[in-house]
A and B are shown apart, each in its own frame.
Chain A
């Protein structure tokens, strides 16, 4: 089929995009309904950070109940009303509400919007030398769908019966018979999934089409590769959850029985639905998304850590090529491991062996990437600034998280560990002192590019050391609690079980760790806002970095670069022998 002619620097006719180019945009178009990837990125980042704080607060409430089950919450116990906290003590339903929404908010409204929507949107076009994303208006739409989804999730707390309380996993049949909040959860998820799909289309197209001259795929910063693979995961894994959401809505609202088996009796009353459905169908469709989703949670973080390690060791990343191949392989494998979340559902030994095998295989690329990052430190001239501290902290924390996942991926070892606190400890290690540390690192690292000012190093170090210690105080004991056999989602943390008595004191340890962790976020929050106005001003490239985003002014204007950049070399040409500077930027001829 004949195609329109290719040109080097096409200038479309007319002012179809830019008919307002010469009129100054008003406040609303500049800061609220902007199509500029940087504004959208900051919107995502700030909204994401607020949701992270909110999700964390929900957990801090839960931690009171877990440490002191049945004890009235001092001072603020009365804020939540008699239904949720009768006499200031937590009702089990409220505990479930907090638990389900903590997970949902942290994953879908906090981490991913910050990691992909925030960092991806802000940094990727700059790192590839592009003026913006390929579809700026679609980009704006995807933020507002996210916002709508977030508002729906928040609004669900106020409906009769409260927010969703069937776990972030919304397993049927419980979720189907649950209160109205679950319907709001489903609708909220539809908005969020739409947001992610639009974003994924944008990222993939942008990275392929709008990269600068000379920027071949193997010259991409690892962060760009990470966002590229992440976008494919979002694109292809989310739609089945959307379909599942439609079906659960049909079960709840239209009386269908996709997920309801026959003969279900609730509170002594048989259900009147037709039956014949399968709760496992929900699990398959949910985990088809939710497994790739965990790689969506980690990959951008690995990308950020890679950038910061190369920059602060003043040497190239070790094994860049193997890291890229591992990343792509990991992305592919992530689609065929999901039923390791379902080992206890009665699958035969053949399929258990299949999923166990693919799960063990997928651990290999993860190890390659982590190892390459660690080896990258060897022989480096390490600068221990705040971004680097968080990046360094990420490495062993992700290591612990990853290694502790291995027994969970082996179907027999999973039997005693499934659905215990061991699982909670495993995944929190990967996401909390894993990804979130990477995200903090990224904030300290790219804050100067976004604002033209540095964040304060002293406050940053307090934030880092305090968070590092507290994260371990919170989550390390949970491995022991899980190994003792305490199930997750118990509203009293196991207190009513005899076998749990020897480990209950660890719940108290975790709780105090969590509350102290919250205190150590205060220097960060203060630093973030104070530095916007009072941070030390910086130029284009305060970190002496090599990647293209540092060619733009700090902060970059609309359109990003004074002249369209070109890439002349790889992304990490640090300490090249025979050169005057210890770095050769990608964008300098």
Chain B
């Protein structure tokens, strides 16, 4: 197969990149705004469970933006999704099970 030199990319391809660059800038602005928002909310001193929920929600939105658009996850292949889905399942088990299992953990009291 002959080379795919970047210089020989079609105009279609260049327009494609332009569209992506616009998305990157939009996401960048969103991320900055969400950062300011999460810091602002933290000044309100909500009750810990609510503060945690809100903070994690904002972080998840920010993280999803980075993952979907900067890391191109939104248009990735099924195989990558499968690996990540598996990983997320085990990640949740790792975060949840130890604290639930250990006595005096915050969920199940025996």
Chain A residues at the B interface, C-beta cutoff of 8 Å: 1-2, 4-5, 7, 10-11, 13, 208, 232, 236, 240, 278, 280-281, 284-285, 288, 332, 335-336, 339, 342, 345-351, 355
Determine which of B1, B87, B103 lies in contact with A236 in the assembled complex, contact meaning CB atoms within 8 Å. Answer: B87
B72 touches A284 (CB 8 A): no
Interface of B is mostly: helix
A5 touches B4 (CB 8 A): yes
Residues of B within 8 A of A4 (CB): 4
A1 touches B101 (CB 8 A): no
Query: Nearest B residue to A9 by beta-carbon distance?
Result: B1
Segment at the interface with A among B45-53, B58-66, B91-99: B91-99
Residues of A within 8 A of B16 (CB): 2
Residues of A within 8 A of B103 (CB): 346-348
A335 touches B93 (CB 8 A): yes
Contact A348 to B108, CB < 8 A, known contacts A11-B1, A342-B101: yes
Interface of A is mostly: helix
Shortest CB-to-CB span from A346 to chain B, Å, is 5
Report the bound CA distance from A11 to B4 in whole Å.
12
Residues of A within 8 A of B110 (CB): 347-350
B102 touches A2 (CB 8 A): no
Report the bound CA distance from A13 to B86 in whole Å.
36
Shortest CB-to-CB span from B96 to chain A, Å, is 10
**A–B Cβ pairs within 8 angstroms, 7 of them:** A2-B16, A236-B90, A284-B102, A347-B102, A348-B110, A351-B97, A351-B108
Report the bound CA distance from A232 to B1 in whole Å.
33
- Restricting to B15-45, which residues have a CB under 8 Å from any CB of A? 16, 20
Shortest CB-to-CB span from A235 to chain B, Å, is 9
Residues of B within 8 A of A285 (CB): 98
Query: Nearest B residue to A4 by beta-carbon distance?
Result: B4
- Restricting to B52-110, which residues have a CB under 8 Å from any CB of A? 72, 75, 79, 86-87, 90, 93-94, 97-98, 100-103, 108-110
Query: Nearest B residue to A347 by beta-carbon distance?
Result: B101
Determine which of B1, B3, B13, B109 lies in contact with A348 in the assembled complex, contact meaning CB atoms within 8 Å. Answer: B109
Shortest CB-to-CB span from B23 to chain A, Å, is 11
Contact A13 to B101, CB < 8 A, known contacts A1-B20, A208-B79, A236-B86: no
Residues of B within 8 A of A284 (CB): 97-98, 101-102
Residues of A within 8 A of B87 (CB): 236
Residues of A within 8 A of B13 (CB): 2
Residues of A within 8 A of B75 (CB): 1
Shortest CB-to-CB span from A234 to chain B, Å, is 13
B98 touches A281 (CB 8 A): yes
Residues of B within 8 A of A347 (CB): 101-103, 110
Closest 6 pairs (CB-CB, A-B):
A348-B110, A284-B98, A7-B1, A351-B101, A346-B103, A347-B101
Query: Nearest B residue to A348 by beta-carbon distance?
Result: B110
Shortest CB-to-CB span from A203 to chain B, Å, is 13
Report the bound CA distance from A7 to B1 in whole Å.
7
Residues of B within 8 A of A350 (CB): 108, 110
B94 touches A240 (CB 8 A): yes
B97 touches A339 (CB 8 A): yes
Shortest CB-to-CB span from A231 to chain B, Å, is 11
Shortest CB-to-CB span from B8 to chain A, Å, is 12
Residues of B within 8 A of A281 (CB): 98, 102
A5 touches B90 (CB 8 A): no
Known: A5-B1, A7-B1. 4 other contacts (CB 8 A): A240-B94, A280-B102, A339-B97, A350-B108
Residues of B within 8 A of A332 (CB): 86
Determine which of B20, B86, B93, B100 lies in contact with A351 in the assembled complex, contact meaning CB atoms within 8 Å. Answer: B100
Residues of B within 8 A of A11 (CB): 1
A335 touches B90 (CB 8 A): yes
Residues of A within 8 A of B79 (CB): 208
A336 touches B97 (CB 8 A): yes
Query: Nearest A residue to B74 by beta-carbon distance?
Result: A1
A10 touches B100 (CB 8 A): no
Report the bound CA distance from A155 to B1 in whole Å.
51
B1 touches A10 (CB 8 A): yes
A278 touches B102 (CB 8 A): yes
Residues of A within 8 A of B101 (CB): 284, 339, 342, 347, 351, 355
Report the bound CA distance from A13 to B3 in whole Å.
7
Shortest CB-to-CB span from A242 to chain B, Å, is 13
Shortest CB-to-CB span from B7 to chain A, Å, is 14
Residues of B within 8 A of A345 (CB): 102
Shortest CB-to-CB span from A502 to chain B, Å, is 37
Contact A232 to B3, CB < 8 A, known contacts A347-B101, A349-B110: no
Shortest CB-to-CB span from A209 to chain B, Å, is 10
Report the bound CA distance from A346 to B79 in whole Å.
40
Report the bound CA distance from A332 to B93 in whole Å.
12
A288 touches B108 (CB 8 A): no
Residues of B within 8 A of A5 (CB): 1, 4
Report the bound CA distance from A13 to B101 in whole Å.
55
Report the bound CA distance from A516 to B3 in whole Å.
64
Report the bound CA distance from A122 to B91 in whole Å.
32
Shortest CB-to-CB span from B60 to chain A, Å, is 21
Report the bound CA distance from A549 to B52 in whole Å.
55
Shortest CB-to-CB span from B83 to chain A, Å, is 8
Residues of B within 8 A of A336 (CB): 93, 97
Report the bound CA distance from A5 to B10 in whole Å.
13
Report the bound CA distance from A335 to B92 in whole Å.
11
Residues of A within 8 A of B3 (CB): 13
Shortest CB-to-CB span from A331 to chain B, Å, is 9
Interface centre among B3, B13, B75, B94 (most CB of A within 10 A): B94
Report the bound CA distance from A208 to B83 in whole Å.
12
Shortest CB-to-CB span from B92 to chain A, Å, is 10
Residues of A within 8 A of B93 (CB): 335-336
Report the bound CA distance from A332 to B98 in whole Å.
18
Query: Nearest B residue to A5 by beta-carbon distance?
Result: B4
